[in-house]
Structure 1
Amino acid sequence: MNLLETLRQFPALAGVPDEQLQWLIDRSSEVDFPAETILYKPNDPVAYLILLLEGRIRIESGSNGIGDELLTYDAHSILGVLPFSRMKNFPNRLVAEKATRLLQFHRDQMTELIHTCYELTEALVHQMTTRVRDFTKLTQQNEKMASLGRLSAGLAHELNNPVAAVVRSADTLKTHMRATPEAFKTIMHLSLTDEQVDSVNTVFFGKLDQCLAKGSEKPLTLLERSSLEDDLTDWLDDHGVDDSMDLAGPLVEYCFTVADLDWILEKIGDKNLIGVINWLVNNLVTERLVLDISEASKRISTLVGSIKNYTHMDRGVGKERVQLAEGIRNTLILLDHKVRSKHISVTLNLPSDLPDVCGWPGELNQVWTNLIDNAVDALPDGGKLEISSQVDRRSEEQMAFVLTKVIDNGGGIPQDIQDKIFEPFFTTKEIGKGTGLGLDIVQGVVKHHNGSIKVQSEPGRTEFSVCLPTE
């Protein structure tokens, strides 16, 4: 089969006159490559329009060694430089997957092709738009998968801690409950009046409530806790109570003091002291283990609820009323591991009376994910992140907007690239850390919601402002 007959089999060249195909053949060269030949490495200049006559070409993400396969091109595909293309270098590595034959047309002759072969030029331009659309779709999908991967890793880490706490506390509770029969024997031999039992119950439940009320306060330092335990241990020793089972620790944890033990002793008498103290501690430990399991379970429930709300997997795909504060908080929960790993302090100013916006919640969550993730990446260890929302209305007649700001105190965006950060594929991150599509996706989503996004940056302060209409 001669070259002209081969080119007629290219779907992209259907309808191109034979004389124009022959013109292309006369000015091109055939090249053969054995299997697994590296045709081009990343950043190699694009010098040719390439027509794949036979074989298969694989595009890989790796720069040096073998990387992930991004795309494959079979026979009758068109690669390389095209008319009016701004492509200067190959972004990825091209490998001949099997024995391959190419027809190469040098870009220096592209101007003559444009002026001489109208139908051929039209076909190649159409091929370029198709390639851009397909490659953009692929890269956006990879960006979304990378974002999902980061969230999944964070979610797995966040779930691991409460799950481990549940398992650990459940095992400890199981061991602890085995000692209950012996404790029950001791209780059965106590001679307590109803009034004395009520007194013990009063102090027990009172200390539980006191401990829960102090839960949000500053915890005891190691020195303070050690001092209180020493005081209780001395009291127990003075009153003949064996502390080999560490009775003082749980008592301190639940806010018991020497004065409390004196009050109990006054109410129940010396002969009942050991049994009552052991009963108190036994129940305090049980309460602590049950509380730990309850808190860990609530944390799991919160995380599951956050990912469910974040993805909106139980809702339709149409427009709906969206609470921006809920989406931002859910996003922060899923990125919490990354935030805490850099000891970043987060300040939220999200008013409870913030109006809803009308939009697609899944798309808006992509906005918060990219902006917050970028801010965290830009922040040093111990940095500060501030997120705030407010109603923006310039007059009573105008439509209301919700203005949301994401502010970090990182190094800032250099002035000479601030006008490029929303361009597709532009990234300041090192190779393998980003595709340059995060802010392009953000801008696309904001425009889809008839909103606007702006950035102001200087060293020590970068502010992204997202303005979304409420209607």
Structure 2
Amino acid sequence: MEPVTATQLKNIPALKEVPLEQLDWLLTHSEERWVPEGEPLFKAGDPVVTTTIVISGKVRISATINGHYRELAELNDDSITGWLPFSRVKNAMGTGLCLKDTRVISCHADILKKEIEQHYELTEALVHIMTSRVRDNTNFQQQNEKMMALGKLSAGLAHELNNPVAAITRSATALYDNIRHLPDIFRQMSAICLSEKEAGVLVDQLLQMQAGRPEKAQGMLELSDKTMELEDWLDTKDITQLEIAEVLAEYDQDKEVLDKFCQQFPPQHLPVIFSWIHSALVANRMVTDLQLSAKRIADLVGSVKSYTYMDQEPDKQFIDIHTGISNTLAMLNFKIRRGNIEVVEQYDTTLPKIKALPGELNQVWTNLVDNAIDAMEVNKKGRLEIATTKDRQYVHVTITDDGPGIPADIQSRIFEPFFTTKEIGKGTGLGLDVVMQIVQRHQGVVKQVSVPGKTIFTVSFPIENN
């Protein structure tokens, strides 16, 4: 096999402007190796300490992200990878598997660092490769961050929608069964031939029952005791449909009041009368549940529309900052409830409106709230405080969690691109970088203070710009 020459390296597009003597120097201080097909050129997590040039071969770089195997890049002939000047990469993000026999040369970073000033064109070429790699990685990670955020929001929204949808399905089925029995109940009611006075008493009683349904549902124990008490009372009236007791208990009916009502009808008519009352109350309950569930779905759809600012111009506009925060909490409500987190909101309703890109600000609230929820996960519960205030110059939003806090030795790095303390697959390290970029585009600032048991992020926007 012929040795690699400086002329051969100069034919690599990224190195075409580098003088031959500098490429000769690079070859002199590099090691060559062959990696057979199926073997890794490097593994995820390996220290990045060499600049590697693929002379020939093919390498697929892949990693497991969010539990799924994904290809990150592919290296072919003349590709340059590994350590590059001014790069912050410390460890390989993925595993580079050789898809065919691969020939590479590698120069240790320590050697390149010592000679950067003496080999200007070589350094310039490597820096250009580094900036291109950062741009490509940033675009990839930002897209991945958006997909992760979308996945979290869609999963939470699906769970939020599941409850009202299930309630609608359940209520619709029960209402259908109830309607099927109406002809038989009508026949029974017709057979007892109520007088006009009796019909008036019955209708008035039903309306009172419907109006008296408690707004707040009773506790299971209280409802069970009430049901058993009314079952015993129905038994004294020779009414065998014990399911009637459950509905009467739900509508918080008192047996003394029911006794007075019953005194106005012949005892033999009571089973038919209470069967009709039961059917009417069940129908009323089902319709009410359908209304509440439909309203919940409408509210969620409204929150999504407002969160994404659909049907609105993608330009800065004056917005109430609280609307975006509220919509964000609605989007993350399932995750908040799953994390057993208490949310405390303290808003200054006199805040001036902010001129902003509302969709971008919602990304800020989503990232900060989501990070706070993740931080409190280790406690199996938490307290999330969101407050808004203002002073003469700024509008402030503070988001506080009672998680374990950010270690002091990494607090200065949390806004760095790709820096993350989360497990592999849980974070890209771009969440806070995105927050910083968006806030700065709005002429604002973001700060954090963290001690064990308390972390506060404060986002501030100047009033004079609005």
Residue of structure 1 equivalent to 2:274: 277
Q: Name which of structure 1's ranges 223-232 and 143-152 shifts more when overlaid on structure 2.
A: 223-232
* Pair 1:305-2:310 in alignment: no
Q: Which secondary structure does the structure 2 equivalent of 1:386 belong to?
A: strand
Separation in 1, partners of 2:318, 2:75 = 44
Q: Which residue of 1 aligns with 2:367?
A: 370
Instruction: Kindly state the Cα deviation for residue 351 of structure 1 after the two structures are TM-superposed.
Output: 4.3
How far did 1:143 drift? 1.8
Report what 1:432 is aligned to: 425
Amino acid at match of 1:45: P
1:20 aligns to what SS in structure 2? helix
1:215 is aligned to 2:208: no
TM-score, length of structure 1 as denominator length = 0.90
Whole-Å separation in 1 of the counterparts to 2:395 and 2:449: 18
Q: Tell me the CA shift for residue 251 of structure 1.
A: 0.8
Report how far residue 86 of structure 1 moved: 4.5
Shift in Å, 1:183: 0.6
Classify 1:78/1:352 alpha carbon distance in 2 versus 1 (closer, same or farther; 3 Å): same
Q: CA deviation at 1:409?
A: 2.0
> Contact 2:188–2:272 at 8 Å: present in 1 too?
yes
The 2-side partners of 1:446 and 1:123 are apart by 33
**Alignment partner, residue 199 of structure 2:** 197
Which secondary structure state, in structure 1, belongs to the residue aligned with residue 446 of structure 2? strand
Does structure 1 residue 262 correspond to structure 2 residue 259? yes
| 1:224/1:21 CA distance change after superposition, 3 Å | closer
Aligned residues with identical type, % of pairs: 43
The answer on 1:291 being equivalent to 2:284 is no
Task: Provide the C-alpha distance between the structure 2 equivalents of 1:228 and 1:54, rounded to a whole number of angstroms.
Answer: 82
Deviation track 1:283-324 (CA, whole Å, cap 9, x = no partner) reads 111111222222222222222222222222322221112222
Aligned to 2:248: 251
Match of 1:414 among 397, 407, 410: 407
Q: 1:26 to 1:298 in 2, by over 3 A?
A: same
What is the one-letter code of the residue matched to 1:178?
R
Deviation sequence 1:21-50 (CA, Å, 0-9, x none): 344334434332222221112332333221
| Shift, 1:116, TM fit | 3.7
Equivalent residue pairs, number: 459
Match of 1:419, SS? Answer: helix
Supply the AA of the counterpart residue of 1:389.
T
Aligned counterpart, 1:454:
447
The aligned residue for residue 52 of structure 2 is 50
Across the aligned residues of Structure 1 and Structure 2, the Cα RMSD in angstroms comes to 2.5
- Which runs of 5 or more residues in structure 2 are unaligned? none
Is 2:138 the counterpart of 1:140? no
356-365 vs 28-37, which moves further:
28-37
Per-residue CA distance 1:392-442 (angstroms, 9 max, x = gap): 122xxxx5x321111222222233332222222222223332222222211
Cα distance, 1:353 vs structure 2: 4.2
Counterpart in 2 of 1:338? 335
| Structure 2 equivalent of residue 28 of structure 1 | 30
Task: Provide the residue aligned with 2:356 in structure 1.
Answer: 359
Deviation at 1:361, TM superposition (A): 1.3
CA gap of 1:114–1:457, structure 2 versus 1, over 3 A, is closer
The answer (yes or no) to whether the contact 2:7–2:20 under 8 Å persists in 1 is no
Check the 8 A contact 2:384/2:401 in 1, yes or no. yes
Which one of 160, 164, 167 corresponds to residue 166 of structure 2?
Answer: 164
Matched to 1:140, the amino acid is Q
